[in-house]
Amino acid sequence: MRFRSLALFPLVYAALFAVVAWAIGGAEALGPFIDGQLLFVRVLAIGGCLAAVSAFSSGDHLRRAWLWLVVATAAVLVRDVLRLPPWTLSGLFGEHGTAVVVGLGVLSNLALLGGVWLLARAWKVAAISLPGGQGGVTIVTVVIALAALVVGGPGAIHQLRELMAGNWSALVFFLSAVVDILSLCLLAPLLLTTIALRGGLLAWPWALVTASMASWLFYDAAAAFGPLLDLGAFPLTELFRGLAETFLFAAGTAQRLAVGEVREPSS
Amino acid sequence: MEGPPSSTYERLSERLAPYLGRFNAQVWVKVVAERELGLPADSLSGGDVQAVIEGLRPALNTFMGREAAKELLDRIGREVT
């Protein structure tokens, strides 16, 4: 029951977000609401990742993975705070402030990649087989990689063109886009590990972290193709970002609960 | 009326099932029995339990952490041997 509630929480959050965003309407009025809820979901996600870290001991493989996810979310939270008024770091310190903000974004992306990479190779460390055999793994990986390229590729190519035209400030955005695509490609082993553990308590954190990464895929898709949908000021990307962070919170909490259940079975 | 006593394989799988799912628990015990002991899972006996537990340890260490895996495997060892 606790795990099902955790899985429902991000969906309820997204529904509430959509209702409030529709009710507020105009882009200008949406700003403070979006900023506030963004900080809220970032803090939630950090809390969930810390809960997962606390389930493990020093040296455990998944402890390292969750620690990287804490770093990723904390870095992006600091970046978000620095971008808010009255700080607006880039406004106060010009190019240096902008570099700090961009650097924190890149650090967050790299840490996310590191954390997801460690999660994605858990099945190898555990020496278990993934469902579908090598053929199945290859097919799922190719399909997800294609989806990641479709949604993240145009942005990466745009930044690469800027870079080749001599705009060196595009380098970090290009790197960020590439890291984003690589992280999304790791959805395949996460999904297959979830399937490999299906039916047991340990599947819950994997299912929820997979949902978080899938939400980032939809976030990129909304950023790339959202303008074609004619949604007016509705913040579709922010809805998926909220989903990604709340699913990460749910995944970390589920990880803590699942390991706790192993140590102290309730029945 | 009680049914026939369950086999070592079934008892091991049952205790892992809440965490891994019933199907996976059976598969993991089968794979470890064949890999570590060269035996089909159905012919496992009480004397084989410790070897199966040691075979399961690396995977469980990864997915639930070493401390939780140790507690679970100690509990299974006591209950199934």
- Kindly report, residue by residue over A130-170, the tens digit of the pLDDT: 888 778 888 988 999 999 899 888 888 988 998 898 877 77
Q: How confident is the model at residue B1 (pLDDT cuts 50, 70, 90)?
A: very low
- What's the CA gap between A177 and B38, in Å, rounded? 49
DSSP-assigned letter for residue B41: G
DSSP assignments along B57-69, one per residue: HHHHHHHH-HHHH
- Kindly report, residue by residue over B7-50, the tens digit of the pLDDT: 999 999 999 999 998 888 999 999 999 999 999 999 999 999 99
Structural domain total, chain B: 1
Does any domain span residue B68?
yes
Three-class SS of A191-258? HHHHHHCCCCCCHHHHHHHHHHHHHHHHHHHHHHHHHHHCCCCCCHHHHHHHHHHHHHHHHHHHHHHH
Does any domain span residue B13?
yes
* Residue boundaries of the structural domains of chain A: 2-263
Which portions of chain A are predicted below pLDDT 50? none
Q: Is the dihedral of CA A38, A40, A43, A48 positive or negative?
A: negative
Does any domain span residue B1?
no
Does any domain span residue B3?
no
Interface residue B22 vs chain A (CB under 8 A) = yes
Interface residue A200 vs chain B (CB under 8 A) = yes
> What is the reported pTM?
0.90
Interface residue A259 vs chain B (CB under 8 A) = yes
Chains A–B, number of C-beta pairs less than 8 Å apart: 75
- What's the CA gap between A243 and A7, in Å, rounded? 11
Q: Which of B21, B58, B63 sits opposite A199 (nearest CB)?
A: B21
Does any domain span residue B26?
yes
Task: Give A-chain residues touching B71 at CB under 8 angstroms.
Answer: 262-263
Quickly count: other Cβ atoms within 10 Å of residue B40's Cβ: 11
Does any domain span residue B65?
yes
User: Is it the case that residue B3 has pLDDT exceeding 80?
Assistant: no
pLDDT at residue number A9: 97
Does any domain span residue B2?
no
- Structural domain for B28, as ranges: 8-80
pLDDT at residue number A240: 95
Tokens found for residue B73: 């495997």
DSSP-assigned letter for residue B36: I
